Amino acid sequence: MLAIANVSKTYPNNVRALEGVTLDVAPGEIVAIVGGSGCGKSTLLRAISGLDRPSKGIIHLDDEVITQPHEKIGIVFQEPRLLPWLTVAENVGFGLAHLPASERKERVARAIDRVGLADKAGVWPRELSGGQAQRVSIARALVPRPEVLLLDEPFSALDAFTRTDLQDHLLDLWADSKPTLLLVTHDVEEAIVLADRIIVMRPRPGRLFDEIGNDLPRPRDRQSAGFDHVKRQVLAALDRSLGRNISVDERETSAEKGAAMWW
Amino acid sequence: MSSVEMTISVADKAEAAEAQPPRSARLWRPLLGLALPVALAVTWEIVVRLGWSDGRLVPPPSVIGTTLWELARTGELWQHTRATLLRVVAGFGLGVAAGTLFGAIAGYSALTRTIIDPTLQALRAIPSIAWVPLFILWLGIFEASKITLIAVGVFFPVYLGVMGAILSVDRKIVEVGRAFRLSGPALVRRILLPAVLPAYVVSLRSGLGLGWMFVVAAEFMGASEGLGYLLIDGQQLGKPVQIVAAIITFAVLGKTTDWILTSGTAPFLRWEDRFHARAGA
C-alpha cells in the first residue's frame, strides 16, 4: 500500500506548494488527482516518485520510506522523454540493464508488442508520432514491473482522438499486472474514464479538497448518464475548490457544453 | 479506387519522389561543386599556353602538377607532410585531451566553473600567435614549442564546446536517468556522454581546423621541415609554384582529416533529428 502522511512541500522561494497532504492508495487502485493550476498535484507526484523530497511528512510504500527513486515505483512524464540516441527497443529496456541480455530482450519484445509497436522496435524516437512515443514511454515505465505507476498529465500533449485511444490502452495494460496507478490530469473526463477514485485538490497552498468515488462499470461509456453524473460531481467540487459557487442548474448547462472552464 | 484514396496515393508518390531524387541527380550533384574550380584552372592554363601571361607569379595547373610530382618523386613531399602531420596529431591530441578534461569538469561542477572559467576566458582572448616568443623562450625552437602552440589553439574550441554541451543537456532527460536510479558513473555513461556527443564532434572539427591553422604559424617560427617550411622556402627563393603546391597539400590534408573525423563519428550520430538529416549529407 502507498501511504502518504501529512506531506508538505515549501520551495526555497517560500511558495507553499503542498500542505498536510494525507492519502492512502490501495494496491491495484487507480486514483486520479485533479485541480486548478498551482494546486501542487505535480509536486505531490514528484514527491512520491522520490525525484523531489517533501519538506515535511513521510511517504511509505509497503514498509519502505520513499526518499529517492525506488524500483517499485515507475513514472510517466507529460512528455515522452525518450532518449533520442536509443532505438525504441533500447528505450523500453532502459530500466532493465541489470538483467541478462536474453531475458531483457524477451521482456522488451513482449512489452513493445503489448503497446502495438512491434514493427517500430528498431527505429529512432524521432520517427515516432506523439502518441507512439508516449506508448513507448509507458512501456518503458511498466517493463520493470513496478507496483506503483505514477503518470503526470501523460496524455495532455496529445490530440483528443489519440488521447481517448491511449486512455483505453492504458487500462488494457493495467489489467496485465494491476499495478497501483496514480494519475495527475487536467482532463476531468480522463479522470472519470480511468479512476476508481478522483481526488480534487485546492491551490495556494496545495491541499486535498474533496474525493469522489467512481464505481461505474468498465469499459466506461463517455456518453452515459452515469458518466455525466460523476462528471458533474467532479466539476462542482472543482468549482468549490476555487471558491466559485455556481448553482447546480448552471453547472448542468455548462457541463453539457463540454469541458467546463474551471481552470 | 475512390477519389480520396487516389489523392492520397498521388500525394504519397509525390512525397516519395521528393525524398528520393533520381539516381543520376544523386550521383552528379556532388560533382557540381567541382565545376567552378576546374573551369578556372582550365581557363588559366589556356591563358598561359596562349602566352597572354607568363604564369610566373600565378603558375598554371600543369606546372603545379609537375612540381608536386617532382616533390613526391624525390620523397621531399612525404618528408614535409609527415613532419607537419605528426605535429598536428600531437598538438591536436594534447589539446583535445586537455580541452575535454577541463570542459567536462567546468560543465559538471558549478564551483569549478566559477573558479577556472574566467581565467580561461581571459587567456582565450589573447591571440594565440602572441604566445610564440614566450613558448620559444620556455620550450626552445624545436618540436615542444610548436606542439604546444597547436595544442593551445585546439584547446579552446574543445573546452568551450564540451562545457557548453554539458550545460545544455536537457534536465528532463537527466531526470529519466534519476528515475531509473542510475549511479553517478552510469548517469555519465548512459545519459551525459551520448547527449553531448553531437556538440563534441562539432568542437573537435573546429579544433582540428585551428590545429591546421596553428601548425603553419608554428612552422613559420623556424622549422627545417614541414609544409610551413616549404611555404617560407618558396617565398625566400622566389618559387611561387612551391608555395601553391604546399597550399594544395594543406587543403587536401585538412579536408581529409576532417572527413576522417566526421565519417568516424557518423555511426554514433545516426539518431540525430537534424534539418536535412534524411537527405544523407
What is the torsion angle, in degrees rounded to the nearest 10, for the CA atoms of residue A169, residue A170, residue A171 and residue A173? 90
Find which of A68, A76, A83, A128 to mutate to test the B interface (most B CBs within 10 Å of its CB): A83
- Per-residue pLDDT averaged across B126-142, rounded? 87
Phi, psi of A81 (to 5 degrees): 50, 45
Shortest CB distance from B273 goes to which of A74, A83, A126? Answer: A126
**What's chain A's length in residues?**
263
Q: Which residues of A touch B178 (CB under 8 A)?
A: 51, 69
Q: Is B179–A85 a contact, with Cβ atoms under 8 angstroms apart?
A: no
CA dist B166 and A44 (Å) reads: 29
Q: Is the pLDDT of residue A23 over 80?
A: yes
CB-CB neighbours of A262 under 10 Å: 20
Q: Which residues of A touch B194 (CB under 8 A)?
A: 83, 85
* Closest chain B CA to residue A146: B180
Summarize pLDDT for B197-207 with one digit per residue, the tens: 999 999 999 99
Total residue count of chain B as it appears in this document? 281
pLDDT of the residue at B37: 86
Q: Give the integer Cα–Cα distance in Å for A39 and A201.
A: 6
CB distance B159 to B103 below 8 Å: yes
Residue A41 pLDDT greater than 50, yes or no: yes
Angle subtended at Cα B86 by Cα B85 and Cα B87, rounded to the nearest 5 degrees = 90
Question: Which chain A residues are Cβ-neighbours of B172 within 8 angstroms?
Answer: 77, 79, 81
- Which chain B residue has its CA at the smallest distance from A96's CA? B180
User: pLDDT band at residue B271, thresholds of 50, 70 and 90?
Assistant: confident
Which residue matches cell numbers 618558396? B234
Res B50 pLDDT > 50: yes
Are B172 and A79 a contacting pair at CB < 8 A? yes
Give alpha helix (H) positions in A178-259. Answer: 188-194, 225-241, 248-256
CA distance A95 to B253: 45
A214 — pLDDT class (breaks 50, 70, 90): confident
Shortest distance between the Cα of A61 and any Cα of chain B, in A, equals 16
Q: What is the pLDDT of residue B27?
A: 73
Which of B175, B180, B273 comes nearest A84 by C-beta?
A: B273
Predicted confidence at residue A255, as pLDDT, reads 47
A83-112 per-position pLDDT tens digit: 999 999 999 999 998 889 999 999 999 999
**CA separation, residue B168 to residues A38, A44, A59, B270 (Å):** 27, 27, 33, 20
ipTM of the complex model:
0.84
Contacts of A81 in chain B (CB under 8 A): 172-173, 175-176
* Helix, strand, or coil (residue A43): helix
Please provide the average confidence, as pLDDT, over all residues in chain A: 87
A54: cis peptide before it, omega within 30°? no
A213 has pLDDT over 50 = yes
How far is residue B265 from each of residues B36, B198, B204, B259, measured CA to CA in Å? 30, 9, 11, 10
- How confident is the model at residue B100, as a pLDDT? 94
Please give the full DSSP string across A105-168, using - where no structure is assigned. HHHHHHHHHHTT-GGGTTS-GGGS-HHHHHHHHHHHHHTT--SEEEEESTTTTS-HHHHHHHHH
Residue B32 binned pLDDT confidence (cut-offs 50, 70, 90)? confident
Q: Which residues of A199-232 are buried (b: 16+ CB within 10 A; e: fewer)?
A: bbbbbebbbbbbebebebeeebeeeeeebeebbb
Please, are residues B67 and B241 in contact by the beta-carbon 8 Å criterion?
yes
Nearest-5° angle of CA B225, CA B231, CA B234?
105
Asked if B175 lies within 8 A of A81 by C-beta distance, the reply is yes
Using one digit for the tens of pLDDT, what is the confidence trace for B160-181?
A: 999 999 999 999 999 999 999 9
| CB < 8 Å to A86, chain B | 271
Residues of A in contact with B271 (CB under 8 A): 84-86, 124-126
What's the gap in Å between the CA of A192 and the closest CA on chain B? Answer: 28
Whether residue B181 lies within 8 A of chain A, CB to CB, comes out as yes
Put simply, whether the predicted model's pTM sits higher than 0.80 gets the answer: no
Cβ-proximal residues to B241 (8 Å cutoff; 6+ apart), any chain:
B59, B63, B64, B67, B234
Contacts of A78 in chain B (CB under 8 A): none
Q: Tens digit of pLDDT for each residue in B4-22? A: 444 444 444 444 444 555 6
Report the SS3 class of residue A237: helix
pLDDT band at B266 (very low <50, low <70, confident <90, very high): confident
Task: Give CA–CA dist B148/A228, Å, rounded.
Answer: 76
The answer to whether A22 touches B150, Cβ cutoff 8 Å, is no
If you average pLDDT over every residue of chain B, what do you get? 85
pLDDT, one tens digit per residue, over B221-256 is 777 889 999 999 998 998 888 999 999 999 999 999
At what angle are helices B240-265 and B76-108 packed, to 10 degrees? 40
CB neighbours of residue B204 within 10 Å: 25
Is the CB of B180 less than 8 angstroms away from the CB of A95? yes
Percentages (nearest 5) of helix, strand, coil residues in chain B: 80, 0, 20
